[in-house]
Structure formats: C-alpha cells, structure tokens
C-alpha cells in the first residue's frame, strides 16, 4: 500500500516480470519502479509503463508475458481505517 498524497493505492509487492520484491524499489509520482530490471508500473492502474513504451505496437503481443500489469487492489478509507480488498 502507498500514500500518493491525496489518495491511497494498493498493489502486489511482487514484480510481474520476474518476481522481484518491490519493497526495495521506488515509488515516485505514482510510478513504481522494480529494483532489479527497472520495470515501471502505474501505481493506480497497474499498467506496465516501461518497457511497454519502448516496444513498437506490432511487437507488444510477442512480448506480452514481459509486459504484464501489476496486480492492484481496491482501497477505501472508512473513518480512520484503510481497507484493502484483495479478492
């Protein structure tokens, strides 16, 4: 889970590329960066930002397994409690 300033987000702490733990990575301006291969994901949507943005559109299907999105979870705040829906 991360605090983005005006909202919270929650995501799986394992990079979908090769399973590296993201807790040693960075979160900057809503972008999660894996510490191993520097894959990047949008913390709110989970979308792969890098390297998907460097592959030409016709090659993305070929590399789909490497370009999987980060698993994200629904978050809500009820009074002073942050709730995360993981299923």
Please write the tens of the pLDDT for every residue from 46-59: 999 998 888 888 88
> The tokens of 60 are what?
């993305």
Q: Write down the H helix ranges in the chain.
A: none
CA-CA distance, 74 to 11, in Å (whole number)?
Answer: 9
- Please name the helix (run of DSSP H) or strand (run of DSSP E) that holds residue 73, with its range, or none: strand 72-78
Percent of the chain with pLDDT over 90: 70
State the chain's mean pLDDT as an integer.
92
- Mean pLDDT score, 9-29: 95
pTM: 0.87
Phi-psi region of 46 (alpha: psi -120 to 50; beta: other; left: phi over 0): left
CB atoms within 10 A of CB 55: 16
pLDDT at 19 > cutoff 90:
yes
């Amino acid at each position: 889970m991360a605090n983005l300033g005006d909202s919270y987000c929650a995501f799986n702490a394992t990079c979908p590329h090769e399973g590296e733990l993201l807790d040693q990575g960075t979160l900057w301006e809503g972008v999660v960066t894996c510490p191993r291969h520097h894959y990047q994901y949008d913390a709110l949507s989970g979308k792969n930002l890098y390297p998907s943005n460097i592959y030409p559109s016709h090659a993305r299907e070929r590399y789909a397994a490497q370009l999987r999105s980060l698993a994200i979870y629904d978050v809500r705040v009820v009074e002073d409690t942050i709730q995360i829906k993981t299923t």
